[in-house]
Structure 1
Amino acid sequence: MSAWIQKIDPGNSITMEFPATVTKTASGSISNTAKITPVTTSGGANLGTLHTNIANVVVQDTNISGFVQTPSLIDFGKINYSPENRLLTNISTIGQLLINHSAPTNYQVSVAYDNDDDNTKIKNETGDTLPPSSDGLMFIKQRESDPTVPGTWKPITSSGTPIQSTFFNATSPNLTNYVGVGDWKLAVNSQAKPGKYTGTLTWAMEDVPN
């Protein structure tokens, strides 16, 4: 690129803008300068070539995989006391499950719940917990290959339970239909004490061999 600058008055400055195409494939910093030549003063002296200040461009890596958004609340509603064990189905899911994967290769999305971790286990305001059933405490409807199929109820383990038994390979899928209303269950023991119970789920995405 070239440009003609006719005159710069003493004490003044100019701003030069020029387009640039970034071909660097990895993240990092790129530096560039522009040169002005020949440079001649008003008195006729030749200053040769002048260089502008350094322009730095930070290139960010676009090959990043991760969760764009995960549900903020799985709501199982309110119930009255009962002497029987019950299995509640969620009445609402707040938030979406959005993924960004760097390449169209196989990966698995799973959700985990650890009932032995005091920081994440389900408990009420006074610290009372929900004892799990013989099958587990929380369950998710695991699909085989599509969220529209009925699915199979699977206990959510501390190591993680895949939301789909087969792999995903889309780069930016919306998986909200896997975690909506009716896709979660919670076992409530007859000995559960009153209160508002809350806990924490952990989401994970793991690449698998093609």
Structure 2
Amino acid sequence: MSVRVVLVDDQTLVRTGFRLVLDETGDIDVVGEAADGAQALDVVARTRPDVVLMDVRMPGLDGIEATRRIRTGPHPARVIILTTFDLDEYVLAGLRAGASGFLLKDALAADLVSAVRVVAAGESVAAPSVTRRLIAHYLGSTPPRAAADQRLAVLTGREREVLTLVTRGLSNPEIAATLVLSESTVKTHLGRILAKLDLRDRVQAVILGYECGLADPVQ
């Protein structure tokens, strides 16, 4: 079954370029396009895509609010935020609104295709280290340790260790090597962390981990 995608960007040239790349794959089907957030909501409601490629800086309803409404609506397609710069306040706002990650507009064709496939499979496309850098840059401070301990009290000691390493940007294989665990065990711990903390994916785990002071700010 092909991955159904909607393209949202106020620049026709950007949408055309993405469509040309995705149409070449054979397993990704562009089912709609929109030039702003309001149009995006209509197109998503009609086409029910798996993934939305969403620009954030658009006239009228912007991509952040459109992302929030899509993610909380009756057909919560996964959203990839499109941005020009990786250190962009709109990216963090998009992640908070429910996006599954972000992609630079000048990404290679292979990266675009990979991102769509990864997000359609339920994963995130923002590297934890980059996400953490964004959070550090725009949040600037962490809550009191007592508040962090209260939020993370549902985790076991091992789960907290795994969340700490996820927040610090380590991949599953790196976490496995650090804690002397199998990669499958790390995946199991991460799944339990997401369930206990009611988190959607790894991106949200990194955001929460940083907010709880599990990683130092990145300069």
TM-score for both structures, normalised by structure 1 = 0.21
Which has the larger share of strand?
A: 1
| The structure with more radius of gyration | 1
Bigger relative contact order, structure 1 or 2 (CA pairs below 8 A, ≥6 apart): 1
TM-score for both structures, normalised by structure 2 = 0.21
Which has the larger share of helix?
A: 2
